[in-house]
Structures are given as C-alpha cells and as structure tokens.
Amino acid sequence: MASLLLIIIVAAAAVMWVRGARQNRLRWLEKLHLPGLWHGDSGVRLELGGTLEGGPYRLLVEGREERGAWSLHGHDLMLHGEGESGPRRYDLRFFDAGKIGLHGQALDREILNRAGDNIVPLRRTH
C-alpha cells in the first residue's frame, strides 16, 4: 500500500512539473513574439508568419531572397528553406522586447529589431 502511495505522489509531481514547464515555455514564446517583420542593422530582413512556434518565413540577405518554413526548438530557430535538403539552425537569443539575436550560417551574430506594426494614422485620408 505504501508503494502505491509513493507511485501516486511521484506521478502527481511529474504531472505538475510538465504543466509548469509548458506554462513557462508559453510565457517565453509570448515574450519573444516572433511572428512579424524583423530588421537587422546590416540590411537583413526576416519576415516570420504563422503561430508563436512556427510557420512560413521570408528572408532577405544581401539581395538574395529565401522562403520556406520556420520552427522553434528550444532556443534554436530552424529555417527549412524551399528546395533545401535539411533545415538550418540558428541560435536565438532574446535581448529585450522587440530585439533578438541570431547566430548561424548566413546570419553571424545578427541583431534584429522588430518592425513597429502599431502605426495609427493621425489624420483621416479620404
């Protein structure tokens, strides 16, 4: 009987830990708020669509355009380009709201700033 109680306690603790880890990840994804338009200082432009964890992307680097699907695995941003055999991994670093860093193949320590999407016109246009 004591072993059954111990198993129930361990199972309950595991369920609570998994639930807490999921909630922490969701809060981190909401803080990142990756879907949107990101601009780098060197002219890089990254457009991420979809949900907080993945979707379509468009990347402009040095006049070259690339499209495909992106996904987030831990702290790694994976870009699956159209026609590529495998995904490219970029280390994603969160600096502040609207500011991230990417480090990987084509983006070596690139700092990206989120483009403002809350523009409100000050006067009416007819």
Residue 122: per-residue pLDDT: 54
Q: Which two tokens stand for residue 66?
A: 């690339």
Note the residue count of the chain: 126
List, for the chain, all residue ranges whose pLDDT scores fall below the cut of 70: 117-126
Residue 21: per-residue pLDDT: 78
Please give the C-alpha separations between residue 13 and each of 16, 78, 93, 95, in angstroms, as whole numbers: 5, 32, 31, 33
Each residue of 25-35: pLDDT tens digit? 778 777 888 89
SS3 18: helix
Q: Looking at the domain that runs over 33-114, which CATH code has it been given?
A: 2.40.128.640
For residue 116, the 8-state DSSP code is P
Residue 56: per-residue pLDDT: 95
Residue 74: per-residue pLDDT: 84
Residue 121: per-residue pLDDT: 47
Residue 118: per-residue pLDDT: 55
- Beta strands 76-81; 88-96: pairing state: antiparallel
State the chain's maximal CA–CA distance in angstroms: 78
- pTM for the whole thing? 0.72
Q: How far apart are CA 95 and CA 112, in angstroms?
A: 10
